[in-house]
Amino acid sequence: MFTGIVTELGTVASTAATERGARLVIEAPATAGELRIGDSVSVNGVCLTAIAVDDGAFTVDAVAETLQRSNLGGLGPGDAVDLERPTPVGGRFDGHVVQGHVDGVGEVLTRHPEGESERHRISLPSALSRYVVEKGSITVDGVSLTVTAVADVDAEPAWFEVVLIPHTLEVTVLGARSRGDRVNLEVDVIAKYVERMLEAHR
């Protein structure tokens, strides 16, 4: 489990196609220094497994399903990625419950300054709109954020807004996102559990 608190900005060193997807080598001294082969790591909000760890870098494989459901397939050498290690038992819980299972990909629609902060409007797949509520939590490229506004549940296109403080803009990939960029989205899993339980009692 993760909390959506990015601990390091990594840099993609290389990508290579494999029979089942893609292999990524990511330079990240702090993260690599803590990883062991077989450990989990969140890359732009996607939970992956370290298959090799070298001096200052680690390697992960992403299967075709992951590439189709996230923005990892569009990464190339030099691209920055948000990284987070899983939360240890008894560790600090500063964000919200994040599984590292991307539900869909959104698109940055607008960016507007609000003082030193920025308001971002992001599209999301219509099927996910019912799980997003104002003042609720959402994960964008692995970053735990609070929803500040959201379109009506039947609106087309569906969208939500978040306000990013200067620190978030500086230490995550969201600060470099531009209009039209694709971002990974994970909605609050608690909402999905509630919906499933209600369906069982209909």
The tens digit of pLDDT for each residue in 62-115 reads 999 999 999 999 999 999 999 999 987 767 777 788 999 999 999 999 999 999
Q: What is the pLDDT of residue 154?
A: 85
User: pLDDT at position 194, please?
Assistant: 87
CA angle 182, 179, 27 (to 5 degrees): 50
Average pLDDT over residues 41-69: 96
Q: Model pTM greater than 0.75? A: yes
CA dist 189 and 153 (Å) reads 18
The string of DSSP codes covering 20-71 is: SEEEEEEE-HHHHHH--TT-EEEETTEEEEEEEEETTEEEEEEEHHHHHHSS
Q: Is the pLDDT of residue 17 over 90?
A: yes
Answer yes or no: is pLDDT of 165 > 80.
Answer: yes
Q: Which of 43-47, 80-84, 101-105, 151-155 has the lowest mean pLDDT?
A: 151-155
pLDDT in the model for residue 92: 74
Question: What is d(CA 110, CA 164) in angstroms, rounded to the nearest whole number?
Answer: 13
**What local confidence, expressed as pLDDT, does residue 38 receive?**
97
Percent helix, strand and coil across the chain, each to the nearest 5: 20, 45, 35
Region 104-200: CATH code: 2.40.30.20
Q: Where in the chain is the domain with CATH 2.40.30.20?
A: 8-84, 104-200
Looking at the DSSP bridge assignments, the partners of residue 24 are: 15, 60
Share of the chain above pLDDT 90, in %: 84
Q: What span, in angstroms and rounded, lies between the C-alpha atoms of 118 and 108? A: 13
pLDDT of residue 37: 97
CATH number for the domain running over 8-84: 2.40.30.20
